[in-house]
Amino acid sequence: MTNSPYRQRPLKGTDLIEIQRSNLRALLRHLHRELGSWILVAHKLGFRRSFILAFCDGTEPGNMALARSIARAVGLTLDDALVGKAPPRKAPSLVLVASPKAPKSPKGSRRKGGAS
């Protein structure tokens, strides 16, 4: 195992196995699609954006605290998140749109021929 030049501890992830990391990365991508930015994902999880992005690209092994935060953010239990169950689907927000109507013109505003 090699040491990272930016940290004092060796880069080893003994908390999570690779399939669990893969499942958590899928949940992170789901959160990113739902929230729209990595900054919002990081704020919701309570971790730094750089740590989350490093976990997503595989340079950071992650830990159980991150796994718990991801599970809580998507509404799953920790065991379900590690196994790879899909997050509960939210019903799409329905927006009722009125059909466009032509604006009514005042009674005497109609033009009656002639050159302008």
Which letter, b or e, does each residue of 10-49 get, where b requires 16 or more Cβ atoms within 10 Å of its Cβ?
eeeeeebeeebbebbbebbebbeeeeeebeebbebbebee
Region 38-44: what's the mean pLDDT? 96
Q: Tell if the pTM clears 0.95, that is, is over it.
A: no
* Average pLDDT over all residues of the chain: 81
Residue 29: both structure tokens together: 């991508």
pLDDT at residue 1, rounded to an integer: 46
Residue 5: both structure tokens together: 């030049």
Domain ranges of the chain: 45-83
DSSP SS3 for 3: strand
27 vs 33: CA distance, rounded Å: 10
- Range from 3-12, 54-63, 66-75 carrying the lowest mean pLDDT: 3-12
- Asked whether residue 28 carries a pLDDT value surpassing 60, the answer given is yes
Region 75-92: what's the mean pLDDT? 84
